Amino acid sequence: MANKEQCSKCGKFLDLWDFQEDFSLSRFLGYGTKYDGERLEIKLCCECMEKLIDECKISPIKI
Ligand SMILES: [Zn+2]
């Protein structure tokens, strides 16, 4: 598989499992942010996604 997509956080090349999760966010950033008018495109591998979830004070996991 010729995959060139990398995790935004750790730089790892995304594998099949990462693609299956497809943890990505794409949107324009608004006025008032440091990146006013710029575009955010973030993709995370499973490991970084899990880390992000673990770091949340309010668990984003709903059962
Ligand atoms: Zn990662």
Which one has a higher pLDDT value, 16 or 3? Answer: 16
| DSSP of 33-53 | STTTT-EEEEEE-HHHHHHHH
Taking 80 as the threshold, does the pLDDT of residue 9 lie above it? yes
Report the pLDDT value the prediction gives residue 2, as an integer from 0 to 100.
57
Per-residue pLDDT reduced to its tens digit, 19-53: 999 999 999 998 888 999 899 999 999 999 999 99
Q: Which residues, including other chains, have CB under 8 Å from residue 55's CB and lie 6 or more apart? A: none
Q: From ligand 1's centre to the CA of 45, what distance in Å?
A: 4
For the whole model, what pTM was predicted? 0.79
Taking 90 as the threshold, does the pLDDT of residue 3 lie above it? no
CA-CA distance, 46 to 52, in Å (whole number)? 10
CA-CA distance, 44 to 5, in Å (whole number)? 10
Q: From ligand 1's centre to the CA of 54, what distance in Å?
A: 14
Q: Record the tokens describing residue 59, joined without a space.
A: 């668990």
Report the pLDDT value the prediction gives residue 27, as an integer from 0 to 100.
92
Q: From ligand 1's centre to the CA of 12, what distance in Å?
A: 6
Using DSSP's 3-state secondary structure scheme, residue 24 falls into: strand
